[in-house]
Structure formats: C-alpha cells, structure tokens
Amino acid sequence: MPTQHPVTPDGRYFVVAGRLWRTSNPDLDPGTRQALVDGLMRARRQVGVAKKAGDAQAERRARDDVDAAKRALGERGPVWWTDGAPDYNRRMVANTPYADWYAALPAGG
C-alpha cells in the first residue's frame, strides 16, 4: 500500500492528485501478492517495450496483462470488501463520501 499518499480511514483507497485509487486486497497472502506485483511490473515494462517498437498487438497483450494483474490484486474489477459499500475507484475524492476526511488533511491531502 502506498505510504506517500493519504489512505482513506477504511483502507480501501489512496489519493493521488485528488483522485481515489483502490488499494490492493489486504487479505491476499504476501507471497501471492508479491507474485502478482512482480507480474504487474513485468507487464508494465512490456507495454513500454511494445510502444517503443510500435507493436500495437504486443502493446494490447501487455495492457491486458496489466489489467489481469490489477484485477487479481483487487485494484480493478469486483471490490474486495464484503459490506456492500459502493466503489469510488478513480473518482475525485471531493465528489465522494471521503470529501470531508480529505479536506481535513493537512494541506488538502
């Protein structure tokens, strides 16, 4: 979980430039989580390689791999929490129930 960005009190999101981003599922086994993060980083590197080579098909495959890793980590797709709370992933924090919490942080977050 990012430590340089504020994390919501419930641990579901971190905030970058005023936008909420879903955190990884905290219930993942550490070894599984690390393998998924390693795969994510590998896929992100492959996106760059494919873009540099101008290979649109390889870029699409690499982006699909990024998406699959992020879904497995719980950062995309179905939410990892079970209390029925809605997902505010990628929304501006000011337009969510976290707005007051964020506004109260030193220097606006």
Please tell me the predicted confidence (pLDDT) of residue 8. 97
In the chain, domain spans = 1-23+81-109, 28-74
Give the pair of three-digit tokens for residue 64.
């699909």
Quick count: other Cβ atoms within 10 Å of Cβ 46?
17
Give the pair of three-digit tokens for residue 48.
């760059």
Query: With 90 as the cut, is the pLDDT of residue 13 above it?
Result: yes
Sign of CA dihedral 67, 71, 36, 85: positive
Query: With 60 as the cut, is the pLDDT of residue 108 above it?
Result: no
Q: What is the pTM of this model?
A: 0.86
* Distance between start and end Cα atoms, the chain: 16
